[in-house]
């Protein structure tokens, strides 16, 4: 009789807290742990606790390295069936989660939830130091490094450390000699985009930094700073 309820719409087991109904009593028991906070299934390796046995089984694969769910197209393996389902959408191109505001579609529900924060303006991740809020957890983690001395991205050549991965990638070009930013006039290459922009002013004649005392213009901000110091010295001598 219990099995047959899976095929019917009968749900006789009702939660007395939120009225959610289930066809199987064991499902109701598991559900009620959401309200009670009970977590009877404990990992014997790290003591992390779960409300459902299936959640503990999935967790223990972190320790065992077991990945029983294998993609039949590329053989990539996963510890969780839901991750395999999401992965296979790369091959099928399926994008079942659609934004009801702009119709942009995603392969995973979690990606849609993050995207919708663009429209709602929701910023659930708040810095506990300065209260600045972010839409994405990774943005908060990156921001919090401003308040700490943490520099997790370390150059394997000179051990110079950086807060952001992008800064490390740019820095490593100084060792490799790689110039990713190339001038389209003279083909001179630069490791930094800002250096290319400054260089191109030689060709364009652009001088965006203007002295507010004498209106003399410069292509580099550092040159303007040196020039303005001359005015401050002259003013002090008068």
Tens of pLDDT, residues 115-150? 999 899 999 999 998 999 999 888 898 888 888 888
**Range 90-107 average pLDDT:** 93
Could you tell me the pLDDT band of residue 186, with boundaries at 50, 70 and 90?
A: confident
Pairing state between β 153-154 and 133-134:
unpaired
Tens of pLDDT, residues 13-30? 999 999 999 988 988 998
> Considering Cα of 199, then 201, then 205, then 210, what sign does the dihedral take?
negative
What does each C-alpha distance from 159 to 15, 132, 188 come to in angstroms? 57, 31, 28
Looking at 3.30.160.60, 3.90.1150.10, 2.40.30.130, 3.30.465.10, the CATH number of the domain 69-119 comes to 3.30.160.60
pLDDT of residue 89: 93
How large is the greatest C-alpha to C-alpha distance in the chain, in angstroms?
A: 102
Q: What is the dihedral of CA 164, 167, 171, 172, to 10 degrees?
A: 60
pLDDT of residue 147: 86
pLDDT at 101 over 80: yes
What tokens does 76 get?
């990539």
Least confident of 44-53, 58-67, 185-194: 185-194
What tokens does 29 get?
């028991």
Distance CA 138, CA 164 (A): 11
Fold match, 3-64 / 69-119: yes
pLDDT at 45 over 90: yes
pLDDT of residue 124: 92
Domain ranges (residues) in the chain = 3-64, 69-119
* Contact assessment for residue 208 and residue 219, using Cβ atoms and an 8 Å cutoff: yes
Strands (E), the chain: 13-14, 21-22, 41-42, 49-50, 69-70, 77-78, 97-98, 105-106, 125-126, 133-134, 153-154, 161-162, 181-182, 189-190, 209-210, 217-218
Tens of pLDDT, residues 80-97? 998 999 999 999 999 999
Identify the residue with better confidence: 181 or 37.
37
Distance CA 122, CA 43 (A): 35
What is the architecture of the domain spanning 3-64?
Answer: 2-Layer Sandwich (3.30)
Q: What is the mean pLDDT of the chain?
A: 87
What lies within 8 Å, CB to CB, of 17 at 6+ separation is 32, 35
pLDDT of residue 237: 59
Distance CA 43, CA 77 (A): 23
pLDDT of residue 122: 93
pLDDT at 5 over 70: no
pLDDT of residue 54: 87
**Range 168-181 average pLDDT:** 76
């Amino acid at each position: 009789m219990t099995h047959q309820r899976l095929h019917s719409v009968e749900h006789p087991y009702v939660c007395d807290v939120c009225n959610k109904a289930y066809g199987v009593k064991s499902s109701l028991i598991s559900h009620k742990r959401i309200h009670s906070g009970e977590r009877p299934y404990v990992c014997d390796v790290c003591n992390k606790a779960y409300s459902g046995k299936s959640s503990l089984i999935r967790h223990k694969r972190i320790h065992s390295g077991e990945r029983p769910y294998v993609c039949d197209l590329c053989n990539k393996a996963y510890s969780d069936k839901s991750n395999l389902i999401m992965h296979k959408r790369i091959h099928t191109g399926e994008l079942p989660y659609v934004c009801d505001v702009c119709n942009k579609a995603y392969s995973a529900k979690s990606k849609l939830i993050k995207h919708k924060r663009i429209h709602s303006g929701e910023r659930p991740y708040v810095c506990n130091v300065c209260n600045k809020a972010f839409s994405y957890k990774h943005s908060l983690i990156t921001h919090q490094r401003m308040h700490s001395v943490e520099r997790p991205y370390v150059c394997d050549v000179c051990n110079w450390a950086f807060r952001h991965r992008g800064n490390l990638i740019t820095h490593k070009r100084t060792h490799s000699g790689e110039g990713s930013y190339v001038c389209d006039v003279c083909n001179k290459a630069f490791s930094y985009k800002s250096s290319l922009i400054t260089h191109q002013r030689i060709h364009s004649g652009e001088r965006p930094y203007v002295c507010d005392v004498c209106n003399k213009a410069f292509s580099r901000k550092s040159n303007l700073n040196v020039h303005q110091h001359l005015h401050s010295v002259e003013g002090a001598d008068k």
